[in-house]
Amino acid sequence: MNPLLSLPPVSAYSSGVGSSSSSASSPSGSQTSSQYRSATPAAESHNAGKKVGGLDEAQLKELTELKARDREVRAHEAAHQATGGQHAGAMSLTYQRGPDGAQYAVGGEVSIDMSSVDGNPQATIEKMRAVRAAAMAPAEPSSQDRAVAAQAMQVMLQAQSELSLERPTLAGQQARDTYQDIAAFGPEPASGMDGFLSISV
């Protein structure tokens, strides 16, 4: 199982924490945490005295954005997990503490099994269809999700190629079996002359 389907932390919320090599960023802001704070010094000083629930306006804005991000991450990863079914692993989330002290999900991933089914191209094709559907399940698939979908398609095409090589052999055997049934060929011929039938007129 490899952690291939992921929605990594948004840098604006995660103090610049980057994604791993198996993760790719989803559509989001690209400012670092320090850049995010330095972008609003005037607002912070202007509203320093305005408190709501112990939080100033800038903190309330950050909290609102963290809550929205949390919902987005959970929905994204849940879509992968639900569609992937038996091929998907557990959801793994990355959290950040908000100004209210609570933990909010800012990134996540779902492992998915990309291995082919040994000796069974048809089963591999069906499995890769499920994997591809899982990768593209979120409303806004990330670049990593699209890469996983492309990889699943490659495995599926390979399996289809293997299956096409097997089918002529299977079809030929089935044709021979059918012909033998019709012509009464087999271990016990219908007449004493191999390959011929007795016909009464």
Torsion of CA 145, 149, 155, 156, to 10 degrees: 150
Q: How far apart are CA 164 and CA 149, in angstroms?
A: 22
In this structure, the number of other CB atoms found within 10 A of the CB of residue 92 comes to 13
The percentage of residues in the chain with a pLDDT greater than 70, rounded to a whole number, is 56
Name the band, by pLDDT with cuts 50, 70 and 90, for residue 166.
Answer: confident
Q: Output helix, strand, coil percentages for the chain, rounded to the nearest 5.
A: 50, 15, 35
Predicted pLDDT at 6: 57
Residue 164, SS3 per DSSP: helix
| Residue 36 contacts residue 15 (beta carbons within 8 Å) | no
Tokens 């960023």 found at: 25
Q: 64-104: per-residue pLDDT in tens?
A: 999 999 999 999 999 999 999 999 999 999 999 999 999 99
Predicted pLDDT at 26: 39
